[in-house]
Structure 1
Amino acid sequence: MRVIVATDGSKQSLAAARQLMSFADPTKVTEVVVIAVVSPRAAVPFANELSRSRGSSGDMSFREEAGNALDVVAAEFEGWGPKVVKKIRSGSPAAEIVRAAEQLEADLVVVASGGKGLSETILLGSTAQRIQHSAPCPVLVSRPTPRTPPVPRRRASTSA
Protein backbone atom coordinates (compact mmCIF):
# COMPACT_ATOMS: atom_id res chain seq x y z
CA MET A 1 0.00 0.00 0.00
CA ARG A 2 1.35 3.42 -1.00
CA VAL A 3 0.40 6.34 1.27
CA ILE A 4 0.83 10.03 0.53
CA VAL A 5 1.28 12.27 3.57
CA ALA A 6 0.90 15.94 2.71
CA THR A 7 2.57 18.65 4.77
CA ASP A 8 2.02 22.38 4.65
CA GLY A 9 4.63 22.98 7.33
CA SER A 10 2.04 23.09 10.11
CA LYS A 11 2.11 21.24 13.41
CA GLN A 12 -1.24 19.75 12.38
CA SER A 13 0.39 18.07 9.37
CA LEU A 14 2.94 16.48 11.69
CA ALA A 15 0.08 15.30 13.91
CA ALA A 16 -1.60 13.80 10.82
CA ALA A 17 1.54 11.75 10.09
CA ARG A 18 1.56 10.55 13.69
CA GLN A 19 -2.14 9.67 13.47
CA LEU A 20 -1.45 7.46 10.45
CA MET A 21 1.23 5.64 12.41
CA SER A 22 -1.10 5.15 15.36
CA PHE A 23 -3.44 2.83 13.47
CA ALA A 24 -1.81 1.69 10.22
CA ASP A 25 -0.01 -1.64 10.05
CA PRO A 26 3.54 -0.86 8.86
CA THR A 27 3.82 -4.32 7.32
CA LYS A 28 0.94 -3.44 4.96
CA VAL A 29 2.35 -0.02 3.98
CA THR A 30 5.06 -0.43 1.34
CA GLU A 31 5.85 3.24 0.79
CA VAL A 32 5.14 6.59 2.44
CA VAL A 33 5.47 9.58 0.11
CA VAL A 34 5.74 12.83 2.04
CA ILE A 35 4.74 15.75 -0.18
CA ALA A 36 4.97 19.51 0.25
CA VAL A 37 3.54 21.84 -2.36
CA VAL A 38 5.01 25.28 -2.93
CA SER A 39 2.59 27.71 -4.50
CA PRO A 40 4.52 30.01 -6.84
CA ARG A 41 1.81 32.67 -6.65
CA ALA A 42 1.46 32.68 -2.88
CA ALA A 43 1.42 36.07 -1.19
CA VAL A 44 3.05 34.56 1.90
CA PRO A 45 5.98 32.16 2.17
CA PHE A 46 5.67 28.45 2.88
CA ALA A 47 4.59 28.60 6.53
CA ASN A 48 6.98 26.12 8.12
CA GLU A 49 6.28 25.72 11.85
CA LEU A 50 8.18 22.45 12.07
CA SER A 51 11.80 23.50 11.67
CA ARG A 52 13.71 26.11 13.60
CA SER A 53 16.60 26.26 11.15
CA ARG A 54 16.94 29.36 9.02
CA GLY A 55 19.37 30.32 6.32
CA SER A 56 22.37 32.49 7.20
CA SER A 57 20.49 35.63 6.17
CA GLY A 58 17.42 34.64 8.17
CA ASP A 59 15.35 34.16 5.04
CA MET A 60 14.90 30.88 3.27
CA SER A 61 13.28 30.22 -0.04
CA PHE A 62 9.85 28.61 -0.18
CA ARG A 63 11.51 25.42 -1.47
CA GLU A 64 14.03 25.37 1.39
CA GLU A 65 11.26 25.85 3.96
CA ALA A 66 9.22 23.10 2.28
CA GLY A 67 12.28 20.85 2.25
CA ASN A 68 12.84 21.40 5.97
CA ALA A 69 9.18 20.59 6.71
CA LEU A 70 9.49 17.43 4.60
CA ASP A 71 12.55 16.38 6.58
CA VAL A 72 10.73 16.77 9.91
CA VAL A 73 7.66 14.80 8.80
CA ALA A 74 9.73 12.10 7.05
CA ALA A 75 11.83 11.68 10.22
CA GLU A 76 8.66 10.60 12.05
CA PHE A 77 8.59 7.46 9.90
CA GLU A 78 12.21 6.45 10.60
CA GLY A 79 12.29 2.93 11.95
CA TRP A 80 8.57 2.42 11.34
CA GLY A 81 9.15 0.09 8.41
CA PRO A 82 8.04 1.35 4.99
CA LYS A 83 10.28 3.12 2.50
CA VAL A 84 9.95 6.92 2.81
CA VAL A 85 10.18 9.23 -0.21
CA LYS A 86 10.15 13.05 -0.07
CA LYS A 87 8.78 15.19 -2.89
CA ILE A 88 8.35 18.92 -3.39
CA ARG A 89 5.85 19.97 -6.02
CA SER A 90 4.90 23.38 -7.33
CA GLY A 91 1.40 24.63 -8.00
CA SER A 92 -1.98 24.60 -6.31
CA PRO A 93 -1.67 22.44 -3.16
CA ALA A 94 -4.94 20.53 -3.62
CA ALA A 95 -4.45 19.99 -7.36
CA GLU A 96 -0.83 18.84 -6.94
CA ILE A 97 -1.65 16.41 -4.13
CA VAL A 98 -4.49 14.90 -6.17
CA ARG A 99 -2.24 14.73 -9.25
CA ALA A 100 0.46 12.98 -7.19
CA ALA A 101 -2.12 10.49 -5.87
CA GLU A 102 -3.12 9.70 -9.46
CA GLN A 103 0.43 9.48 -10.82
CA LEU A 104 1.75 7.40 -7.92
CA GLU A 105 -1.38 5.23 -7.75
CA ALA A 106 -1.72 6.01 -4.05
CA ASP A 107 -3.95 3.87 -1.88
CA LEU A 108 -4.45 6.59 0.77
CA VAL A 109 -3.81 10.32 1.14
CA VAL A 110 -3.27 11.77 4.62
CA VAL A 111 -3.83 15.50 5.04
CA ALA A 112 -4.38 17.84 7.97
CA SER A 113 -7.31 20.17 8.20
CA GLY A 114 -7.05 23.52 9.89
CA GLY A 115 -3.30 23.91 9.63
CA LYS A 116 -1.59 27.25 9.85
CA GLY A 117 0.24 26.76 6.61
CA LEU A 118 -0.94 27.57 3.15
CA SER A 119 -4.26 25.80 3.66
CA GLU A 120 -5.39 28.28 6.32
CA THR A 121 -3.58 31.37 5.17
CA ILE A 122 -4.56 31.38 1.52
CA LEU A 123 -7.20 28.76 0.87
CA LEU A 124 -9.06 29.13 4.17
CA GLY A 125 -8.95 25.46 4.99
CA SER A 126 -10.36 24.32 1.67
CA THR A 127 -7.29 22.30 0.65
CA ALA A 128 -8.31 19.21 2.62
CA GLN A 129 -11.87 19.51 1.35
CA ARG A 130 -10.74 19.78 -2.27
CA ILE A 131 -8.45 16.78 -1.92
CA GLN A 132 -11.21 14.78 -0.26
CA HIS A 133 -13.59 15.43 -3.15
CA SER A 134 -11.10 14.88 -5.99
CA ALA A 135 -8.62 12.21 -4.88
CA PRO A 136 -8.70 8.85 -6.69
CA CYS A 137 -8.35 7.02 -3.35
CA PRO A 138 -9.51 7.31 0.27
CA VAL A 139 -8.41 10.42 2.16
CA LEU A 140 -7.70 10.59 5.88
CA VAL A 141 -8.40 14.13 7.06
CA SER A 142 -6.78 14.69 10.43
CA ARG A 143 -8.41 17.43 12.42
CA PRO A 144 -6.66 19.27 15.24
CA THR A 145 -7.57 18.19 18.74
CA PRO A 146 -9.69 20.87 20.36
CA ARG A 147 -7.96 22.61 23.20
CA THR A 148 -9.63 22.35 26.54
CA PRO A 149 -9.90 25.67 28.30
CA PRO A 150 -7.89 25.86 31.52
CA VAL A 151 -9.83 25.21 34.68
CA PRO A 152 -9.98 28.40 36.71
CA ARG A 153 -8.26 28.15 40.05
CA ARG A 154 -10.27 28.81 43.14
CA ARG A 155 -8.97 31.50 45.35
CA ALA A 156 -8.31 30.47 48.86
CA SER A 157 -10.73 32.21 51.15
CA THR A 158 -9.22 34.00 54.04
CA SER A 159 -11.16 34.43 57.23
CA ALA A 160 -10.40 37.36 59.46
Structure 2
Amino acid sequence: MHVIVATDGSRQSLLAAQQLMAIADVSKVTSVSVVAVVSPLATVPFANELGGEGDDPAGAALSFRAEAHAATGVVMAALQDWGAAQVDRRVLSGSPAAEIVRAAKESSADLIVVASGSGGLSDTILLGSTAQRVQHSAPCPVLVARPKA
Protein backbone atom coordinates (compact mmCIF):
# COMPACT_ATOMS: atom_id res chain seq x y z
CA MET A 1 0.00 0.00 0.00
CA HIS A 2 1.34 3.45 -0.95
CA VAL A 3 0.40 6.35 1.35
CA ILE A 4 0.68 10.10 0.74
CA VAL A 5 1.18 12.10 3.96
CA ALA A 6 0.69 15.84 3.44
CA THR A 7 2.46 18.32 5.69
CA ASP A 8 2.26 22.09 5.92
CA GLY A 9 4.91 22.32 8.61
CA SER A 10 2.35 22.44 11.44
CA ARG A 11 2.37 20.29 14.55
CA GLN A 12 -1.07 19.09 13.49
CA SER A 13 0.34 17.65 10.27
CA LEU A 14 2.88 15.67 12.30
CA LEU A 15 0.03 14.46 14.52
CA ALA A 16 -1.79 13.34 11.37
CA ALA A 17 1.21 11.17 10.47
CA GLN A 18 1.23 9.82 14.02
CA GLN A 19 -2.47 8.95 13.73
CA LEU A 20 -1.67 6.98 10.58
CA MET A 21 1.02 5.11 12.52
CA ALA A 22 -1.44 4.38 15.34
CA ILE A 23 -4.07 2.79 13.11
CA ALA A 24 -2.24 1.31 10.11
CA ASP A 25 -0.45 -2.01 9.93
CA VAL A 26 3.12 -1.04 9.00
CA SER A 27 3.67 -4.45 7.38
CA LYS A 28 1.04 -3.56 4.77
CA VAL A 29 2.52 -0.12 3.99
CA THR A 30 5.04 -0.60 1.19
CA SER A 31 5.88 3.07 0.68
CA VAL A 32 5.08 6.55 1.95
CA SER A 33 5.50 9.88 0.19
CA VAL A 34 5.67 12.91 2.46
CA VAL A 35 4.34 15.84 0.45
CA ALA A 36 4.67 19.55 1.14
CA VAL A 37 3.26 22.14 -1.23
CA VAL A 38 4.68 25.63 -1.49
CA SER A 39 2.29 28.11 -3.03
CA PRO A 40 4.02 30.20 -5.71
CA LEU A 41 1.71 33.09 -4.80
CA ALA A 42 2.18 32.81 -1.04
CA THR A 43 2.15 36.07 0.91
CA VAL A 44 3.35 34.32 4.06
CA PRO A 45 6.29 31.92 4.31
CA PHE A 46 5.98 28.17 4.62
CA ALA A 47 5.67 28.16 8.40
CA ASN A 48 7.67 25.25 9.71
CA GLU A 49 6.78 24.48 13.35
CA LEU A 50 8.47 21.08 13.13
CA GLY A 51 12.09 22.22 12.96
CA GLY A 52 14.56 20.00 11.21
CA GLU A 53 17.56 20.98 9.14
CA GLY A 54 16.74 23.46 6.39
CA ASP A 55 18.59 23.00 3.11
CA ASP A 56 19.00 26.53 1.79
CA PRO A 57 21.79 26.45 -0.78
CA ALA A 58 21.38 30.14 -1.64
CA GLY A 59 21.83 31.11 2.02
CA ALA A 60 18.69 33.24 1.98
CA ALA A 61 17.23 34.15 5.37
CA LEU A 62 13.79 32.96 4.32
CA SER A 63 13.24 30.14 1.85
CA PHE A 64 9.83 28.54 1.50
CA ARG A 65 11.31 25.47 -0.17
CA ALA A 66 13.99 25.07 2.49
CA GLU A 67 11.40 25.20 5.27
CA ALA A 68 9.18 22.73 3.41
CA HIS A 69 12.20 20.46 2.94
CA ALA A 70 12.98 20.63 6.67
CA ALA A 71 9.36 19.96 7.70
CA THR A 72 9.09 16.94 5.42
CA GLY A 73 12.32 15.62 6.93
CA VAL A 74 10.81 15.63 10.43
CA VAL A 75 7.74 13.70 9.24
CA MET A 76 9.91 11.32 7.22
CA ALA A 77 12.03 10.55 10.30
CA ALA A 78 8.93 9.69 12.33
CA LEU A 79 7.67 7.36 9.59
CA GLN A 80 11.07 5.67 9.23
CA ASP A 81 11.21 5.12 13.00
CA TRP A 82 7.76 3.49 12.69
CA GLY A 83 9.26 1.01 10.25
CA ALA A 84 7.79 2.10 6.93
CA ALA A 85 9.73 0.26 4.23
CA GLN A 86 10.31 3.17 1.86
CA VAL A 87 9.79 6.85 2.64
CA ASP A 88 10.38 9.64 0.14
CA ARG A 89 9.89 13.39 0.04
CA ARG A 90 8.14 15.59 -2.49
CA VAL A 91 8.25 19.38 -2.22
CA LEU A 92 5.84 20.65 -4.84
CA SER A 93 4.70 24.05 -6.00
CA GLY A 94 1.13 25.08 -6.72
CA SER A 95 -2.30 24.81 -5.16
CA PRO A 96 -2.00 22.52 -2.10
CA ALA A 97 -5.14 20.46 -2.78
CA ALA A 98 -4.47 20.09 -6.50
CA GLU A 99 -0.84 19.09 -5.98
CA ILE A 100 -1.67 16.57 -3.23
CA VAL A 101 -4.29 14.95 -5.48
CA ARG A 102 -1.92 15.01 -8.46
CA ALA A 103 0.82 13.31 -6.40
CA ALA A 104 -1.68 10.64 -5.33
CA LYS A 105 -2.76 9.99 -8.91
CA GLU A 106 0.80 9.88 -10.26
CA SER A 107 1.92 7.42 -7.61
CA SER A 108 -1.28 5.33 -7.61
CA ALA A 109 -1.64 6.04 -3.89
CA ASP A 110 -3.93 3.87 -1.80
CA LEU A 111 -4.44 6.47 0.96
CA ILE A 112 -3.92 10.20 1.54
CA VAL A 113 -3.39 11.59 5.06
CA VAL A 114 -4.11 15.29 5.70
CA ALA A 115 -4.53 17.44 8.80
CA SER A 116 -7.56 19.61 9.38
CA GLY A 117 -8.93 21.83 12.09
CA SER A 118 -5.82 22.66 14.04
CA GLY A 119 -6.58 26.34 14.48
CA GLY A 120 -2.86 26.93 13.89
CA LEU A 121 -0.73 27.09 10.79
CA SER A 122 -2.91 24.53 9.06
CA ASP A 123 -5.54 27.28 8.81
CA THR A 124 -3.54 28.78 5.98
CA ILE A 125 -2.62 25.65 4.08
CA LEU A 126 -4.31 22.35 4.97
CA LEU A 127 -7.42 23.35 6.92
CA GLY A 128 -10.98 22.99 5.84
CA SER A 129 -11.18 23.91 2.20
CA THR A 130 -7.95 22.15 1.26
CA ALA A 131 -8.85 18.99 3.16
CA GLN A 132 -12.35 19.12 1.64
CA ARG A 133 -10.94 19.61 -1.85
CA VAL A 134 -8.58 16.69 -1.37
CA GLN A 135 -11.46 14.50 -0.15
CA HIS A 136 -13.63 15.55 -3.08
CA SER A 137 -11.00 14.99 -5.79
CA ALA A 138 -8.85 12.19 -4.40
CA PRO A 139 -8.45 8.99 -6.40
CA CYS A 140 -8.30 6.99 -3.15
CA PRO A 141 -9.52 7.10 0.48
CA VAL A 142 -8.51 10.13 2.57
CA LEU A 143 -7.73 10.11 6.30
CA VAL A 144 -8.50 13.58 7.67
CA ALA A 145 -6.83 13.88 11.05
CA ARG A 146 -8.50 16.36 13.37
CA PRO A 147 -7.00 17.59 16.64
CA LYS A 148 -8.28 16.28 19.93
CA ALA A 149 -10.34 18.73 21.94
Matches within 5 A, 1:1-160: 1-51=1-51, 59-79=61-81, 80-115=83-118, 116-117=120-121, 119-121=122-124, 125-146=128-149
User: Identity of aligned pairs, percent?
Assistant: 62
Aligned structure 1 segments of 4 or more residues deviating by more than 2 angstroms: 52-55, 57-60, 114-117, 121-125
Q: For structure 2, list consecutive stretches of 5 or more residues without a partner in the other structure.
A: none
- Is the 8 Å Cα contact of residues 37 and 93 (structure 2) preserved in structure 1? yes
Paired residue total? 144
Answer 1 or 2: which has greater helix percent.
Answer: 2
Larger radius of gyration: 1
- Is the 8 Å Cα contact of residues 12 and 112 (structure 1) preserved in structure 2? yes
- Supply the distance in 1 between the matched residues of 2:85 and 2:33 (Cα, whole angstroms): 10
- Supply the distance in 2 between the matched residues of 1:84 and 1:35 (Cα, whole angstroms): 11
Pick which of 58-67 and 36-45 moved more: 58-67
- Is the 8 Å Cα contact of residues 42 and 122 (structure 1) preserved in structure 2? no
Q: For structure 1, list consecutive stretches of 5 or more residues without a partner in the other structure.
A: 147-160
CA separation of 1:86 and 1:52: change in aligned 2, threshold 3 A: closer
RMSD: 1.9
CA separation of 1:124 and 1:44: change in aligned 2, threshold 3 A: same
